[in-house]
């Protein structure tokens, strides 16, 4: 009987043949330190992290935690405003690249944890704020720049781990009144909503908004229609027409797909944290610290899969109906992948602490 059950589990969890992204890596710069953030503007890819050098075309170039390259050719660009601390988040819009993290100076100018940078010249603009705490996430929408993190105030305004700035004036938008009781790790904007994930147990004092919630992009009012159930801290989220996708930690990590009312569509369990997630078409791509994907949702101590597993080292892909695909490029390292993003033409970018993909030398950054 047990053999029959295991055969059925293997059949249900069999890798789906279709995939939207190839495992082979494309030409792109690599880095000597962790990559935490990726953003796109036009044909340019902007990268942020803890690195001090970028490598391209067999040569090494100084890049103090910020860099950019041509998304078509992979060629490293001259854009190189130096930051004196780790860049953990990036967001780009016409005329501006926003960076947030643990820095105090960018491009020679004093900037406390957040800065606006010219996307061509690399010069730092007049946008300036003081943040009492640590930022982790940025997102753009509804004429605003949204900030998430672990902080208590921005430029004298008492705020709880969330803030919004007017893109037109650069000022804190005090009309946007969202707040969370613990750190906000990730943000995503879709339509008129801002989705947020993290370690919080309440948003806008609502105790049913645990770890994953949505608020209005103009007012910050909580969406009480979106009520997902999340078992552990949310490390990354992405949104498409089908719903909301979350990468979480916990006893082994999880990738979970929700409908727009918070109903769980599917979930996959890993033997380590899931820290990054994005979609290409109907396929969700997941990155993290894991080495295996469980065949069922049951796992034990240290995330060990209890009903069998399939090898997927730091990277995996899941179809729209929750089936594991054959995509398995295999990154290395302990921390593995920290960020996954998709550019407008469907190219998948991965950043993190890995130094190889599929046995090939690809330090901290890879394109698929």
Three-state secondary structure string covering 250-292:
CCCCEEEEECCCCCEEEEEEECCCEEEEEEECCEEEEEECCCE
Least confident stretch, 16-25, 102-111, 223-232: 16-25
Question: Is 149 part of any domain?
Answer: yes
Written as six digits, the tokens of 362 are: 């690809």
* CA 15 to each of CA 9, 309, 319, 362: distance values in angstroms, whole numbers, following the listed order: 12, 12, 9, 26
pLDDT value of residue 18:
44
Cα-flanking dihedrals φ and ψ of residue 205, to 5°? 65, 15
- 27 touches 366 (CB < 8 A): no
User: Which candidate, 363, 347, 365, places its Cα nearest to that of 355?
Assistant: 363
**Percentage of the chain exceeding pLDDT 70:** 94
Query: What band does 15 get if pLDDT is binned at 50, 70 and 90?
Result: very low
Instruction: Compute the C-alpha angle 115/120/122, nearest 5°.
Output: 40
Question: Is 323 part of any domain?
Answer: yes
Question: Is 45 part of any domain?
Answer: no
Query: What band does 222 get if pLDDT is binned at 50, 70 and 90?
Result: very high
The C-alpha torsion from 170 through 171 and 174 to 177, rounded to 10°, is 30
Question: Is 61 part of any domain?
Answer: no
- 162 touches 148 (CB < 8 A): yes
DSSP SS3 for 172: strand
pLDDT tens-digit map of 266-324: 999 999 999 999 999 999 999 999 999 999 999 988 888 999 999 999 999 999 999 99
Tell me the mean pLDDT in the region 353-368.
95
What's the CATH code of the domain at 91?
2.120.10.30
Question: Is 300 part of any domain?
Answer: yes
pLDDT tens-digit map of 147-169: 999 999 999 999 999 999 999 99
pLDDT value of residue 302:
81
Spatial strand order of the sheet with 234-240 comes to: 234-240, 243-248, 254-258, 264-269
Residues whose CB falls within 8 Å of the CB of residue 256, separated by 6 or more in sequence, listed in order:
228, 230, 245, 246, 248, 264, 266, 267
Our count of domains for the chain comes to: 1
- 129 touches 154 (CB < 8 A): yes
Residue ranges with strand state E in 105-156? 105-106, 109-110, 114-117, 131-141, 144-154
Written as six digits, the tokens of 172 are: 């804190």
Question: Is 282 part of any domain?
Answer: yes
DSSP SS3 for 317: strand
Instruction: Compute the C-alpha angle 125/196/318, nearest 5°.
Output: 110
Q: Which domain holds residue 185?
A: 86-367
Residues whose CB falls within 8 Å of the CB of residue 327, separated by 6 or more in sequence, listed in order:
19, 21, 23, 283, 285, 315, 316, 317
Question: Is 11 part of any domain?
Answer: no
Question: Is 106 part of any domain?
Answer: yes
What is the DSSP-derived secondary structure letter of residue 97? E
Written as six digits, the tokens of 154 are: 């921005």
| Residues listed for the chain | 368
């Amino acid at each position: 009987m047990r053999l029959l059950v295991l055969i059925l589990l293997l059949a249900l969890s069999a890798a789906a043949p279709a995939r939207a992204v190839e495992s082979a890596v494309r030409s792109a710069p690599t880095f000597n330190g962790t990559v935490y953030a990726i953003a796109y503007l036009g044909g340019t890819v902007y990268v942020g992290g803890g690195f001090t050098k970028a490598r391209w075309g067999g040569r090494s170039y100084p890049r103090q935690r910020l860099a950019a390259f041509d998304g078509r050719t992979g060629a490293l660009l001259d854009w190189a405003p130096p930051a004196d601390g780790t860049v953990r988040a990036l967001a780009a819009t016409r005329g501006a690249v926003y960076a947030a993290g643990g820095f105090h100076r960018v491009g020679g100018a004093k900037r406390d944890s957040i800065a606006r940078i010219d996307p061509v010249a690399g010069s730092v603009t007049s946008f300036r704020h003081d943040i009492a705490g640590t930022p982790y996430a940025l997102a753009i929408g509804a004429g605003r720049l949204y900030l998430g993190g672990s902080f208590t105030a921005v430029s004298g305004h008492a705020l709880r781990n969330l803030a919004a700035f007017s893109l037109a004036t650069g000022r804190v938008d005090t009309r946007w009144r969202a707040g969370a009781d613990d750190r906000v790790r990730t943000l995503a904007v879709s339509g008129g909503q801002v989705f947020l994930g993290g370690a919080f147990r309440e948003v806008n004092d609502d105790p049913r908004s645990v770890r994953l919630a949505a608020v209005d992009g103009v007012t910050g009012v909580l969406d009480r229609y979106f009520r997902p159930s999340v078992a552990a801290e949310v490390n990354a989220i992405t949104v498409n027409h089908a719903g909301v996708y979350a990468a979480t930690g916990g006893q082994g990590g999880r990738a979970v797909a929700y409908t727009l009312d918070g109903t769980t569509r599917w979930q996959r369990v890993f033997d380590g944290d899931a820290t990054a997630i994005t979609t290409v078409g109907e396929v969700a791509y997941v990155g993290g610290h894991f080495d295996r994907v469980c065949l069922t949702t049951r796992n034990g101590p240290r995330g060990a899969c209890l009903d069998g597993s399939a090898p997927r080292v730091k990277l995996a892909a899941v179809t729209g109906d929750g089936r594991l695909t054959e995509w398995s490029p295999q990154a290395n390292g302990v921390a593995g992948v920290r960020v996954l993003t998709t550019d407008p033409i469907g190219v998948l970018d991965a950043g993190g602490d890995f130094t190889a993909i599929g046995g090939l030398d690809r330090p901290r950054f890879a394109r698929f």
